[in-house]
Every structure is written in structure tokens, then in C-alpha cells.
Amino acid sequence: MIVGVGIDVVDIARFESTLERTPALRERLFTIEERHLGIASLAARFAAKEALAKSLGAPVGLHWTDARVVTNDEGRPTLEIGGTVLARANDLGVDSFHVSLSHDAGVASAVVIAEG
């Protein structure tokens, strides 16, 4: 059963300026494994976390680094969650997520479906 869906779009250039202006944000938003990625992929992962939050009703208190996007050998992304995000998912009866990312024409976007 689909429990929730979330979508988000990010202006890649604006996101890059924000990260340059506030370098500490990179650590607050991204796990160690994500931080080294190029700006379009980072923006898409930020969009994925926003979309993930929306799929869970965007409660206050979710930590950005309690979710990360991992990709398999073919490049397919999946979400790994823990901590605050896992607790919220458990509260809602969500046991799996589906995520899709895109970046083109200066925009990064993501869709997340929460299933339970």
C-alpha cells in the first residue's frame, strides 16, 4: 500500500551558491559517502531528502543525515534510512521507499514513494 509520496525540485546554481556561502551545510545535509559528489548529484540528493520528508508528512525533527541515497552497480538509486527518519517511517507503517532522481537544464528533482 502506498502510504505517502513526495516530490521536490532544486535550482542547481542557487544550491551551489548556498553551499559555497555556508560550507557547514554540506556536513549538515549530506553523509560522508554523499559529500564528494558533483553539484548536480548533490542537488538531486537534497531534492530526494526533501521529497522523502514530504512522503512522511514533513514532521519537524528529521535529521538530513538520517537518510542517504545509495546507487547500485547500474546507477539505480535507493534510500537508506536510520535514526529520526526510520522512527517516523515506523510510526507510519512504512517499510520501503522508492526513489527516482533527475538533473537537467539547471534543475535537479526527485520523487519518493513510501510503501507499507
Q: Which residues contact ligand COA (rule: CB under 6 A)?
A: 8, 49-50, 52-54, 57-58, 62, 64, 66-67, 85
Closest separation in Å from C-beta 73 to ligand COA? 25
- DSSP-assigned letter for residue 80: E
User: For residues 116 and 93, is the Cβ–Cβ distance under 8 A?
Assistant: yes
Shorter beta-carbon distance to ligand COA: residue 32 or 74: 32
Residue 73 or 114: the one with the smaller Cβ distance to ligand COA is 114
Q: Which is nearer to ligand COA, 60 or 73 (CB)?
A: 60
Task: Give whichever of 21 and 74 is closer to ligand COA, judged by the CB atom.
Answer: 21
Cα–Cα distance measured from residue 7 to residue 48, given in angstroms and rounded to the nearest whole number: 8
Closest separation between CB of residue 81 and ligand COA, Å? 8
Alpha helices in 7-75 (DSSP H): 12-21, 24-29, 32-35, 39-55
Minimum Å gap between C-beta 57 and ligand COA is 5
Q: For residue 75, count other CB atoms closer than 10 A to its CB.
A: 7
Least distance from C-beta 29 to ligand COA, angstroms?
8
Q: Are 116 and 81 in contact (CB under 8 A)?
A: no
